[in-house]
């Protein structure tokens, strides 16, 4: 293929763009210009570079997946409305955040905490409707279509909550404002909407909603943790950044990391669906061991998180434990009916592979960025800190998975089980290290 052909193809990509494509691009550029004009004084050169680089990335994403154009514009409009409502009254520093309790739209919908609570409810509802879809006789499966729309609504509210929280942090005081990816509360919100968004892309690409029931289980589990963490630790309160996090590297490292976490979790739940389908007709208990083991892991997790939660926290996690056990038991009992509505093994395998491939690429970038950040913050690129060590273990696990698939043709149950083990390893790297080990990353402990 010569240079002329490539040039013509590039020109066709631009000429095929609709008016809405160009309107979206213009609005993104205008929004970035407004942000640069208003906030450039508080940005360093790296943050300005990030802002400029974000523009073509957002435009490319919107052109690549048209649904993101509508989502992005809706999130922008809702965020600007929230900011306008906050700015109607000011205090000594900026917008009066007390308006979140006085203005109807802020109190019930658009303040960061209200929007994130809506996200939580919508994700739970989405999960329920996706599962109902397995047991109804409707040809068009209205229940799963509603589950998909609720998932979109939850992603919308999560993004609104994130953007408004970013604005709120800047209204508290000087040097407090920061991108909301700095603690467990904020990154759990990030994990929820990123995992759901990647799933929704695969749902649209492969034209099947059957996997939503499985993927939304892990999102709902994360929401369950988020709600407990909000109550037990009052984690929704915006706090100043600790010194180690006061770096522009955080704006790149954390989102890249959580693209990895989200897609690894998505792959694991698709692997769970693969095993349910494969063993639909199995009656021997030892052949169902992978599914039973996954159930034990899911049900045991709350017992771990109970530590230090107090009586109320213990009661919450015991309810969580019971619901998890019931859900796993119900899936195993209904595996034949569920398997009949799942897509083909080839499709499940392809989604699993693409999810891990995307996650591995971003996790690799995040690890490299983390090394640069460590060099700036602590004077060395690598220190064998527990968090760094477990990040390396996660990376090696998925590197081996991809190597075995691409070089040795790894497929089937072994591939699916490996993806499930990967989720356990990733979960420990994400949460377990913070709970049980100490090190340079101890600012993130529960």
State pLDDT tens for residues 285-299.
Answer: 666 666 666 666 655
Instruction: State mean pLDDT over 143-151.
Output: 96
Instruction: State mean pLDDT over 107-129.
Output: 96
Residue 253, φ and ψ in degrees, nearest 5 = -65, -50
User: Is the pLDDT assigned to residue 87 strictly greater than 70?
Assistant: yes
Q: How many residues does the chain have?
A: 446
Which run of H or of E encompasses 308?
none
Residue 327 C-alpha from the chain's centroid? 22
pLDDT for the residue numbered 311: 44
Which run of H or of E encompasses 148?
helix 142-170
User: Is the pLDDT assigned to residue 441 strictly greater than 70?
Assistant: no
CA distance 75 to 157: 8
Handedness of CA 105, 110, 115, 118 (dihedral sign): positive
Q: 171-175, 244-248, 409-413: which has the highest mean pLDDT?
A: 409-413
CA distance 266 to 289: 21
User: Is the pLDDT assigned to residue 258 strictly greater than 80?
Assistant: yes
Domain ranges of the chain: 104-444
CA distance 249 to 266: 26
CA distance 133 to 211: 11
pTM of the model: 0.92
pLDDT for the residue numbered 442: 53
User: Is the pLDDT assigned to residue 165 strictly greater than 60?
Assistant: yes
Q: Which two tokens stand for residue 291?
A: 């599914």
pLDDT digits (tens, 9 = 90+) for 319-350: 777 787 788 878 888 889 999 999 999 999 99
CA distance 61 to 140: 29
Among 324, 157, 328, 131, CA closest to 224? 324
Mean of the per-residue pLDDT values for the chain? 86
Q: Around Cβ 249, how many Cβ atoms within 10 Å?
A: 18
User: Is the pLDDT assigned to residue 444 strictly greater than 60?
Assistant: no
pLDDT for the residue numbered 293: 64
Alpha helix positions (H), 279-411: 289-305, 310-333, 335-341, 345-378, 386-408
CA distance 355 to 214: 14
pLDDT higher for 282 or 31? Answer: 31
pLDDT higher for 27 or 92? Answer: 27
């Amino acid at each position: 293929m010569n240079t002329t052909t490539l040039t013509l193809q590039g020109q066709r990509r631009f000429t095929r763009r609709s008016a809405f494509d160009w309107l979206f691009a213009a609005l993104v550029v205008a929004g970035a210009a407004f942000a640069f004009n208003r906030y450039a004084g508080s940005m360093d050169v790296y943050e300005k570079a990030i802002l400029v680089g974000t523009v073509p990335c957002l435009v490319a994403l919107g052109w690549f997946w048209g649904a993101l154009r509508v989502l992005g514009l809706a999130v922008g409009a809702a965020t600007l409305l929230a900011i306008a409502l906050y700015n109607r009254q000011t205090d000594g520093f900026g917008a009066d955040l007390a308006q979140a309790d006085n203005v109807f739209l802020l109190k019930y919908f658009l303040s960061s905490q209200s929007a994130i609570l809506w996200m939580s409810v919508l994700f739970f509802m989405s999960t329920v409707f996706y599962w109902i879809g397995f047991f109804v006789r409707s040809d068009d499966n209205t229940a799963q279509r509603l589950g998909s729309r609720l998932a979109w609504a939850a992603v919308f509210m999560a993004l609104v909550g994130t953007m408004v929280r970013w604005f709120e942090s800047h209204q508290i005081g000087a040097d407090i404002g920061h991108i909301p990816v700095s603690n467990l509360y904020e990154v759990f919100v990030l994990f929820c909407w990123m995992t759901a968004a990647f799933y929704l892309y695969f749902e649209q690409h492969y034209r099947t909603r059957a996997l939503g029931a499985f993927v939304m289980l892990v999102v709902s589990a994360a929401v369950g943790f988020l709600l407990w963490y909000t109550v037990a630790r009052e984690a929704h309160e915006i706090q100043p950044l600790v010194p180690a996090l006061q770096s522009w590297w955080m704006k790149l490292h954390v989102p890249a990391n959580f693209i990895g976490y989200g897609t690894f979790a998505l792959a694991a739940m698709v692997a769970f669906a693969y095993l349910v389908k494969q063993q639909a007709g199995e009656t021997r208990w030892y052949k169902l061991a992978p599914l039973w083991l996954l159930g034990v892991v899911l049900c045991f997790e709350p017992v771990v998180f109970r530590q230090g939660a107090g009586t109320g926290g213990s009661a919450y996690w015991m309810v969580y434990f019971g619901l998890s056990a019931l859900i796993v038991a119900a899936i195993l009992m209904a595996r034949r009916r569920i398997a009949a509505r799942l897509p083909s093994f080839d499709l499940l395998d392809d989604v699993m592979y693409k999810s891990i491939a995307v996650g591995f690429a971003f996790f690799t970038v995040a690890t490299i960025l983390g090394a640069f950040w460590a060099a700036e913050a602590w004077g060395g690129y690598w220190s064998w800190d527990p968090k760094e060590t477990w990040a390396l273990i996660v990376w090696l696990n998925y590197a081996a998975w991809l190597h075995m698939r691409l070089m040795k043709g790894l497929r089937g149950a072994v591939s699916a089980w490996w993806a499930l083990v990967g989720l356990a390893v990733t979960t420990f790297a994400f949460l377990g290290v913070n709970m049980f080990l100490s090190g340079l990353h101890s600012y993130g402990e529960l």
